[in-house]
A and B are shown apart, each in its own frame.
Chain A
């Protein structure tokens, strides 16, 4: 039977042991992301979301459990295999220092193709077309220093998608952007993930950005505290929901882990603001 999930984690653990000080950064996390699904990973600082992202990106090895992308167990791969896998199957957007400072916007996007030895003329045209679609058609030959923060993030998004990865990961992609640009960037990101039928995970502190995701996974103390799949709840969390206009038929997945806990304390202001 074909696995319907692109990304799966099973009881994943990450324990850091520093001079006898043992910290369980990620504790028995089970996460499933389907093709075309965009997941928001939220939680307070130290909740384990970045560690989780690092493990999904093959940058960090799990202490226990397993992580699978496209059915391949990341834990069984050698370091070189993980680097190759990361290059071919994963797209990455970071909070900052996203772009190579001495490459133009187009060259930055092409970089992923060059790394994957797909540097053909059609690839170059594909990169230019993607950047154009992201509103950067007139900035193809601009260096990162000549681009605004939002433009730089759009280039990073293009780079994370150009090589047709299975999974797209974003670490706080809107941290350095104003609200308008942040909305613009995440919306584009979401559209491209849906369109390309990729699995997308975005770590964010900005709950307003959750309005673009299909599922919110809330982490606390290394565990998944709650998974929100109801559109209304997501919109409520994002502070954009109008209760009288809540869609009736938006019955997304049931929460995989039902939690009786209230939302984390830092989520409350966002809810209060709604």
Chain B
């Protein structure tokens, strides 16, 4: 079971930046808000570490734009949104992912999985 978790963790780590860009595509969001959007789509980051270093890298690479906005009663939050480069990177990344997924499906479809009762 630990091996399965490790594989899932590695797979997610490889595409988490893509997932973050995708949820930013819904609209600007701050860090925890993005975590909640991912969770709503069935992706929990509990076992994968934090998204903050990844957001930092996306910001440094110019794939996201940031701005500070006041939140309800709390301190101003840092909102992340897609930059034009980020949009292009997201499109290219989705194409890459689909190609890889199809190839992997082609390799794994020959395996018949028997579900034990």
Is the A/B pair a real complex?
no
